[in-house]
């Protein structure tokens, strides 16, 4: 196995163009497990750790540009206000050691349906900035996951950054596992309120071949909130609306039975998480709206 160590982004792109089968390694928390278990024996490893810019982030007016290798710990410590859903998801990843190494670029590279960043990215609305020697493009997160552990990257492309909309309303993330730490999700759910567009977005993890949004549930809820004037009057969401939303989220799942849980349990749990995260975020929105109204 050859170890390629580019010193700059341009060198990394050139190396990937020359060796398209080279496997990039960032934190290594997925790659090294695969190599150690002999699930993968790449001819080349492409080490991205000398490329400092991949560990940087920029907070813009509307969005955050998150370098591909920014570790979960930095997201939790520095971007909680801008990216609350992703910060909450980061908290649930593995252990402090893994959170110090692993990042969103690696989660996207692996594209496991159980990756914890995905529901938060889907709910917030994100774009993945990828590049090759041929040029750069931005892939909307909805188009990024193409199959079980498959993504939309071409063989010569690398992930440079992820652009995530800054939160303008409450966001939540919920994960079911057998314990609180060091656990792969049985299933997970992300929800973000977007008051300026009066929309709600969702993300479901580990309950379908890829991370998915519950689009029918979102459409139902958006219409119900609009019809009842909820965004303006800040009323409590009625139990029947919350239940219908939860049922539609459960229906958006296409899970399997595996060692971590059955398909029917996953559907059930997604429904529960959908109702809970909706209640938490809406209560928080009502609180903020009430404070703003009083000011």
Task: Return residues touching ligand FAD (CB under 6 A).
Answer: 23-31, 33, 48, 68, 93-94, 98, 101-103, 105-107, 109-110, 115-116, 158-159, 182, 184
* 3 φ, ψ (degrees, to nearest 5): -115, 110
Contact 201, 189 (CB under 8 A): no
Q: What is d(CA 117, CA 92) in angstroms, rounded to the nearest whole number?
A: 10
Q: Which is nearer to ligand FAD, 106 or 190 (CB)?
A: 106
Q: Which is nearer to ligand FAD, 105 or 125 (CB)?
A: 105
Q: Which is nearer to ligand FAD, 169 or 177 (CB)?
A: 177
Q: Which is nearer to ligand FAD, 113 or 125 (CB)?
A: 113
| Nearest distance in Å: CB 6, ligand FAD | 12
| Nearest distance in Å: CB 11, ligand FAD | 14
Q: Which is nearer to ligand FAD, 83 or 246 (CB)?
A: 83
| Nearest distance in Å: CB 58, ligand FAD | 17
Distances (CA, A) of 29 to 23, 95, 186: 13, 11, 20
For residue 67, what are the β-bridge partners? 161
| Nearest distance in Å: CB 2, ligand FAD | 15
Q: What is d(CA 46, CA 93) in angstroms, rounded to the nearest whole number?
A: 24
Contact 85, 164 (CB under 8 A): no
Helix and strand element counts for the chain (H, E): 12, 13
Residue 245: how many CB atoms within 10 A of its CB? 26
| Nearest distance in Å: CB 83, ligand FAD | 15
């Amino acid at each position: 196995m050859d170890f390629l160590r580019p010193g700059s982004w341009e060198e990394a792109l050139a190396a990937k163009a020359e060796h398209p089968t080279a496997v990039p390694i960032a934190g290594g928390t997925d790659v090294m497990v695969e190599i150690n278990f002999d699930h993968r024996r790449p001819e080349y490893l492409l080490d991205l750790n000398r490329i400092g810019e991949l560990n940087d982030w920029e907070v813009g007016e509307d969005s955050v540009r998150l370098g591909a290798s920014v570790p979960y710990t930095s997201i939790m410590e520095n971007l909680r206000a801008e990216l609350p859903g992703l910060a909450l998801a980061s908290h649930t990843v593995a252990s402090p050691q893994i959170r110090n190494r692993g990042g969103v670029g690696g989660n996207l590279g692996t594209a496991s349906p159980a990756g914890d960043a995905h529901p938060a990215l889907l709910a917030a609305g994100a774009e993945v900035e990828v590049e090759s020697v041929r040029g750069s493009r931005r892939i909307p997160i909805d188009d990024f996951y193409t199959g079980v552990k498959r993504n939309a990257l071409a063989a010569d492309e690398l992930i440079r950054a992820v652009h995530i909309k800054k939160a303008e309303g409450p966001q939540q993330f919920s994960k079911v596992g057998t314990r609180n730490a060091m656990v792969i999700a049985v299933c997970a759910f992300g929800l973000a309120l977007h008051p300026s567009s009066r929309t709600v977005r969702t993300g479901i993890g580990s309950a379908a071949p890829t991370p998915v949004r519950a689009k029918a549930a979102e459409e139902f809820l958006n219409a119900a909130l609009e019809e009842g004037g909820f965004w303006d009057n800040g009323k409590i969401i009625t139990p029947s609306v919350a239940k219908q939303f939860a049922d539609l989220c459960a229906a958006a799942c296409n899970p399997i039975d595996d060692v971590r849980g059955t398909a029917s349990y996953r559907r059930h749990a997604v429904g529960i998480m959908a109702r809970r995260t909706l209640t938490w975020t809406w209560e928080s929105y009502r609180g903020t709206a009430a404070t703003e109204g009083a000011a």
